[in-house]
Amino acid sequence: MMKKLLAAVCVCSMLLCGCQSQGTYLKPYAGVTASKTADVSSMIDTRVWEGFAADLGVVSVDDSENGIDSETLSQIDAKEVFLTGTTDSTVLTAYNIYTQMPPASITKILTALVALQSVSDKDLDQEVTLTDDVNIDVADAQVCGFKPGDKMTLRTLLYCMLIYSGNDAANAVASAVSGGDIPAFCDKMNETVAKLGATQTHFVTPNGLDDPDHYTTAYDLYLIFKECLKYDVFKDAIHQASYTADFTRDGQEMQQTYETTNYYLLGYKTPPDGVSIIGGKTGTTDNAGLCLILYVEDASGNGYISVLLGCPDKDTLYSSMSKLLSKIRK
């Protein structure tokens, strides 16, 4: 009976993630409910399925735990590491990519995805009046400084959230899209990741501030980010080095410029030769450490997604990412 049940679950997961008629791939996930204490190895069917997820980079549990590309991994200090192509889906480097961890502000890519799936491009330019949801009571949390009563477009909020990583902007996006019901928005976030096959993810905030029930994996973030890149608005936002927000406060027109948190786009850090940083999202909290997800292209225009989670400090984050991206040139 159990074997029949597992077989049924595996087939459903294949249908969920999408099948192609060509190629042989290792199946990364069986369809299960995300659980922080779950034994991931028991959920991953390592049998070879003909035609599974031909547009995804996939890795077996053993390869994830042992590491793919030991030479590069020896030069990287991070708890989870992933680099895969988006043009041909070749996995170049991977380590520990199925372990649940807090993602910090990388959460905001899913907040953006749910918002973009929920409204039309035209609706992005409708004016939003901010509520008390923009009040963030966590010490040292990154905020844009927005106040209840401020008026701006949803597009402005999305850009401030993705570029400057404003936690108040993330809450405002969730509140605007959900009609003021942020818990309902978080439910939608979890429904969305389930449809993407990101089964080891569970989010309880739209901003990514630490919570024991808020977690994901490097592989799930790859799945989410890959979906985000289908939206031109998202790709434009994550590519910006800065953004000037126009908004109204107490009847007065206001402007505030926010710089990206991405040191590559600011020019503070330099990627390897032949690698262009298109954009990405940073994340930092005490529990998560320093995290970064990027979309980059090589000299021929081939795309790659890279993920680092749990780096100890900013210098290590960027030196490790540059080491990882140097794999693209080889």
Query: For residues 137 and 151, what is the distance between their CA atoms, to the nearest angstrom?
Result: 21
CA distance 37 to 211: 15
State the alpha helices, DSSP H only, in 81-159: 108-118, 154-159
Q: Does some domain include residue 185?
A: yes
Total structural domains within the chain: 1
The two three-digit tokens of residue 130, written as one number? 């901010």
Told to judge if 300 belongs to the known catalytic residues of this protein, a careful annotator would answer: no
> Which position among 13, 60, 64, 105 bears the catalytic label?
105
Residue 28 domain-assigned?
Answer: no
What b/e sequence results for 295-319 when a residue is b if at least 16 CB atoms lie within 10 Å of its CB, and e otherwise?
A: bbbbeeeebbbbbbbbbeeeebbbb
- pLDDT score for 210: 96
Is residue 227 in a domain? Answer: yes
Q: Which of 190, 116, 199 is nearest to 159 (CA)?
A: 116
Q: Which domain holds residue 262?
A: 67-330
Lowest pLDDT segment from 36-40, 60-64, 271-275: 36-40
**Per-residue pLDDT tens for 141-193?**
999 999 999 999 999 999 999 999 999 999 999 999 999 999 999 999 999 99
Catalytic member of 27, 108, 188, 226: 108
Give the mean model confidence (pLDDT) for residues 287-300: 97
- 74 counts as catalytic: no
Residue 267 lies in a domain: yes
What is the pLDDT, as a whole number, of residue 25?
26
Catalytic hit among 13, 60, 165, 306: 165
Residue 149 lies in a domain: yes
pLDDT, average across residues 97-118: 98
In a domain, 16, yes or no: no
Q: Indicate the pLDDT class of residue 55, thresholds 50, 70 and 90.
A: confident
How does pLDDT run across 113-134, given as a tens digit for each residue? Answer: 999 999 998 999 999 999 999 9
Region 80-106 average pLDDT: 96
Q: Is residue 116 part of a domain?
A: yes
Looking at residue 58, its pLDDT comes to 86
| Known catalytic residue at 175 | no
Query: In terms of Cα–Cα distance, which of 104, 108, 101, 110 is closest to 36?
Result: 101
- Identity at 202, one-letter amino acid code: H
- pLDDT category at 45 given cuts 50, 70, 90 is very low
Q: Are 281 and 305 in contact (CB under 8 A)?
A: no
What is the domain-level CATH number for residue 227?
Answer: 3.40.710.10
Quickly state the pLDDT bin for 6 (edges 50, 70, 90).
very low
The verdict on residue 142 lying in a domain is yes
